[in-house]
Amino acid sequence: MITYIKDHEKTYEKDLIKHLRGHNETFTGKVEFKDIYAYLVEGQNLIGAIQVSNGWNWATISKVFYKDKEVLRKLIVRVFQEIKAESIGIKFFSPIKSRYHDFISVGFEHSNHIIGLGEYEEFYYANYTGDNVDLDSSDVMITYEPNEVYQEILTKKEKAFEIAHNIKDKQGEFMWIALEDDVCVGGISGDYYEKTIYVSRLAVDPRYKHQGIGTKLMMIVEEDARSKGYQFIELGTTDFQARPFYEKLGYKVIHTLHDYPKGYNCYSLIKALT
């Protein structure tokens, strides 16, 4: 008999990741996701920094700070030079129009503009695939481990930007696990925001597929979200994961990224709970 528990201590997180990674690697092979850090210093002062996560043929920006657009341009070019042998480009998304325009001005191409996405009135997507690659950015330091001093500055700058522009920080996390005799056979996890729940992982042990476990886990999360007053659920999936499954549950595709990973599409979906 399958039982469902809320895993407050993340006791079964490794099992959930194992099930999800095992499915993904059937299609992508083993992929190492790694963080890359770029810092630009002028005299004794950090004037620009960027942190990206690189994997599945794209780098995704997680933190960024820049004194001006020329500094941003150098950071982007240097990161692209570092990843271009194995990745298509750099992904950017933000609810802040002014930052979106800054990224467009340094060579990013518009990908999507969505009105009324969960927490935000507007949301912008753009991609960079190699403009300005001849710009000299040799003064930008690239590392695969964060510089403690510079990273603290980057984190503070990013937090100040988020506060100034009312960007929502996550308010908590959740994880629900499906068990049979104390063995994890499936699970779902994600984050709480102000109005939105974001589902980051959903996986079922291949031996237990087609038994309604995935649907039950999604229903548990939706019921929990409604009971707490959340208005939206967002999530992502790929061609080889579960787009039709989510669409049957009422989720709508709002954004598509091609070749993520290469040869497949990645989709962002949302469902209104009210």
- Tell the burial category of 2 from Cβ atoms under 10 Å away from its Cβ (0-12, 13-18, 19+): middle
Count of other CB atoms within 10 angstroms of residue 246: 24
CATH superfamily of the 34-164 domain: Gcn5-related N-acetyltransferase (GNAT) (3.40.630.30)
The predicted pLDDT at position 32 comes to 87
Over the stretch 7-27, which tens digit does the pLDDT of each residue have?
999 999 999 999 999 999 999
Domains 3-29+169-272 and 34-164 belong to one CATH topology: yes
Sort strands 34-42 and 45-55 into parallel, antiparallel or unpaired.
antiparallel
The predicted pLDDT at position 135 comes to 83
Over the stretch 239-260, which tens digit does the pLDDT of each residue have?
999 999 999 999 999 999 999 9
The series of mean pLDDT values per 10 residues for the chain, 274 residues long, is 96 96 94 95 96 96 97 96 94 96 97 91 95 83 97 97 92 97 96 96 96 98 96 97 97 96 96 92
The predicted pLDDT at position 256 comes to 97
| Angle 103-196-193 from CA coordinates, rounded to 5° | 80
Between CA 96 and CA 102 the distance in angstroms is 10
The predicted pLDDT at position 133 comes to 67
Report whether CATH 3.30.230.10 matches the domain 3-29+169-272: no
Torsions phi, psi for 36 (to 5 deg): -125, 140
Both tokens assigned to 232 = 């939206």
For the chain, which residues make up each domain, given as ranges? 3-29+169-272, 34-164
* Mean of all residue pLDDT scores within the chain: 95
The predicted pLDDT at position 6 comes to 97
The predicted pLDDT at position 117 comes to 85
Both tokens assigned to 82 = 């570092």
